[in-house]
Structure 1
Amino acid sequence: MNIPKLQVHSTKVQIGLNTQKPVQQIEQPKANLDLQQPKAVQMIETTKPQLTIDTEQARADLDLKSSSRRVAEVADYSKQTALDGTGRRAQEGNELMRIENGGNPISSQAKQTGRQPYSSLSIKFIPSHGSVKVNFEPGSVDIKVEPQQVINNSKMNKPIHTYTPGKVAVEIQQHASLKIDWLI
């Protein structure tokens, strides 16, 4: 006996995927660097040193006197000599005026006038010690420095970022099918 048979034919569905990869680009431009360093402000104040050397006394000891000093010394010496001479003559006149009191004023005055004074023999150092006067006032230096701040005008550039997203396309390459047959 023939039994009818059922025949089933099925085809699976086939799916195809088309993918497009994403594209990403990142670019970092260099920074714009602008740095400036102003010069420091520097101020220097100086006081000059002062050296004073007074050789007037040493020159006078060597008989190298200035004309004004020599004139003053001669004037002083002349005045003193005139005063001494006037005083001596007045004293001699008084002695002669009182001749009656005794003694021999004429011969004693002649002895004093005719005798030259003894000069002393001694060693004299020329110029004398301490005749050169030295005075020194030291100078000074005052330095002031004011540093200046750095001027920073640098600019950072943002990165350039481009992104293209990827795509996925789904397509059916083969449709599903189902065939049913009866065989007798």
Structure 2
Amino acid sequence: MMPLVAAALTILAFTIGLTLPDVDLHLWLGHRSAMTHSALPACLLLTRRHWQPAACGMGAGIGLHLAADTFPNRMIGYATIKLPFVGALSPGASYAWLAINALAAIGVAAWLARRLHAPVVAALLTLAVSVVGAGYLWRTDGGWPVLAIAAVAAWLVWRRPSASPQP
């Protein structure tokens, strides 16, 4: 696949992934379904090699969405994760589910970005995802805490002394 097409597909899939988990609102699955509120949609795209750029973007988008969902007003009823044929998870298990799947989805995205895209393209994609992701988190419920955590993490990485070469 041409690098420009792969990058465009990654960005398109990222944009879709930001809201894909809430497709369960329009299905019989119930809100916060484990089927859509997980890394599963991104991982399903890994089944075909030529879908990997979409899996990269989808993982990043779903990861940000799930990260924001870990900060609901209250983790009861509507906000808890629903497992098919089992029912809702407890609040603690729902928090764990969302956090683990957010990290897994973002991990898949980061792994694929390094594997699929040249370093300069990966850096530009990271910048684009950061800007669009910050805009999404700015206006979504639960986004403010995620932005604050990301800002602190970026500051810590920035402040970390670089390793100087040993003579």
TM-score normalised over the length of structure 1? 0.23
Q: Which has the higher contact order (CA 8 A, sep 6+)?
A: 1
The structure where strand makes up a greater share of residues is 1
The structure where helix makes up a greater share of residues is 2
Query: Which one has the largest radius of gyration?
Result: 1
TM-score normalised over the length of structure 2? 0.25
